[in-house]
Amino acid sequence: MLRVDLNCDMGEGFGVYSAGSDHELMKYITSANIACGFHAGDAATIRRTVKLALANKVAIGAHPGLPDLAGFGRRVMAITPEEAYELTVYQLGAVQAFARSEGGAVAHVKPHGALYNMAAKNRALADAIAEAVNRVDPSLLLFGLAGSELIQAGAAIGLRTVSEVFADRSYESDGSLTPRETEGAVIADPARAAEQTIKMIRDGEVRTRQHSPFILQADTVCVHGDTPGAVEHVIRLRAALEAAGITVQRAGV
């Protein structure tokens, strides 16, 4: 039986600023990646998003990013493996504390934005992030780009890894995501996004921007909460998955 987790980045507002449609999106996903305060989020937002996830029986994940609020964590920064370790432990601890205080628990960790993409290719950074997760709680799932260094680093240290694919992003021939500044990097058409996702789950491959196939494993699918029409995207994606006989359930169960 084919099955897949459906995750979304959430809690990415701060202060008086809100981002995304978390209340609506939470009804259709199975895992929430909650911003930890570096690229977005703050104490009140983390707590509110944790409570929302618990109310909807959605798995809670920590979504650590680079300390770049102005750039939403999507700008590359030169950091050392030691810094990657420390910022992961720090941010994971914040979400973990709020989850416990509300009667829940963190289930997974997924790096955000530039940190995610850096760890996908840089083994030293990947090892540092995996070590941080392992030392805080070795039972946590580590989400990473399918086929990436982060998935390999997590597996090497004994963590349970979850290979992630993206419904609303195009791919390059090496399996990396097309840079956002490139035309066509974000897939705006819900039908096309659903078609790509089903192919990744069923066939284990994606058609890249260079028109070549890339083989991958699809354990969880990401939909971005800040994509225009995100709610429509996730509603149509979930319906398409279920119509294709693919069970949507949280990772690790």
pLDDT in tens, 64-92: 999 999 998 899 999 999 999 999 999 99
At 140-177, the pLDDT tens digits run 999 999 999 999 999 999 999 999 999 989 999 999 99
Q: CB of 61 within 8 A of CB of 29? A: no
Domain ranges of the chain: 3-248
In this predicted structure, the answer to whether residue 36 has a pLDDT above a threshold of 90 is yes
CA distance 161 to 12: 24
**For range 182-210, the mean pLDDT:** 93
> 126-137, pLDDT tens digit by residue?
999 999 999 999
Whether residue 227 is predicted with pLDDT greater than 90 in this model: the reply is no
Compute the Cα dihedral for 204, 5, 8, 155 and give only its sign.
negative
Q: What integer pLDDT is reported at residue 45 of this predicted model?
A: 96
Q: Is 90 exceeded by the pLDDT of residue 14?
A: no
Closest of 190, 156, 216 to residue 4, by C-alpha = 216
Domain 3-248 class?
Answer: alpha beta
- Give the pLDDT mean for 165-194: 92
